[in-house]
């Protein structure tokens, strides 16, 4: 069964350093989401792409976070500089548009900022 691929699985960094996460959605899925999940809470949307275009980034802290999906396939989420409060699970998800279908998640990147 096709999966959403994410890497790395774990990332430990020091505050003020730059970090990057990568996501490859299921083939044919036009919409890609980046979510952040703090321990004990539900996932919260950071950014939504439709193909290569940003649909919603209203919750993305743009002073330090950036996201791109240049060719409308895989995507990168970057944090620079990282802060202690950024420690969380970063999840990528994708869904095929035009029809109502299931949302699929990758295994996530667990970020720890020291």
Partner 1 sequence: GIQVEQSPPDLILQEGANSTLRCNFSDSVNNLQWFHQNPWGQLINLFYIPSGTKQNGRLSATTVATERYSLLYISSSQTTDSGVYFCAVELNTGNQFYFGTGTSLTVIP
Using CB under 8 A as the binding rule, whether residue 22 contacts partner 1 is answered as no
Among 21, 29, 32, 48, binds partner 1 (CB under 8 A): 48
By CB under 8 A, residue 5 contacts partner 1: no
SS (H, E, C) 24-78: ECCCCCCEEEEEEECCCCCCEEEEEEECCEEEECCCCCCCCEEEECCCCCCEEEE
Which of 7, 13, 50, 76 binds partner 1 (CB under 8 A)? It is: 50
Query: In this chain, which stretch among 19-27, 63-71, 72-80, 96-104 interacts with partner 1, using CB under 8 A?
Result: 96-104
Q: For residues 52 and 32, give the distance between their C-alpha atoms in angstroms, rounded to a whole number.
A: 9
- The correct pick among 19, 108, 111, 113 for binding partner 1 (CB under 8 A) is 108
């Amino acid at each position: 069964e096709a999966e959403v691929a994410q890497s790395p699985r774990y990332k430990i960094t020091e505050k003020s350093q730059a970090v990057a996460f990568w996501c490859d959605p299921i083939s044919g899925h036009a919409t890609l989401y980046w979510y952040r999940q703090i321990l004990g809470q539900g996932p919260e949307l950071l950014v939504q792409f439709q193909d290569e275009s940003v649909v919603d980034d209203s919750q993305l802290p743009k002073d330090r976070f950036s996201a791109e999906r240049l060719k409308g396939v895989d995507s990168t989420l970057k944090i620079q500089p990282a802060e202690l409060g950024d420690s969380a699970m970063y999840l990528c998800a994708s869904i095929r548009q035009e029809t109502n279908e299931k949302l699929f998640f990758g295994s996530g990147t667990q970020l720890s900022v020291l």
